[in-house]
Amino acid sequence: MTPGTPGKGLTRLRFIFTGRVQHVGFRYTAYYFSRGLYITGWVDNLPDGRVAMEAQGAPMQLQKLLSRLKGQFEIDHVAVEKMEPLPHERGFHVRGY
Quick check: is 14 catalytic? no
* Strand bridging mode 51-57 / 40-45: antiparallel
Spatial CB neighbours of 24, under 8 Å, sequence gap ≥ 6: 73
Quick check: is 45 catalytic? yes
Q: Which of 14, 20, 35, 45 is catalytic?
A: 45
Q: Which of 12, 14, 20, 27 is catalytic?
A: 27
Catalytic annotation, residues: 27, 45
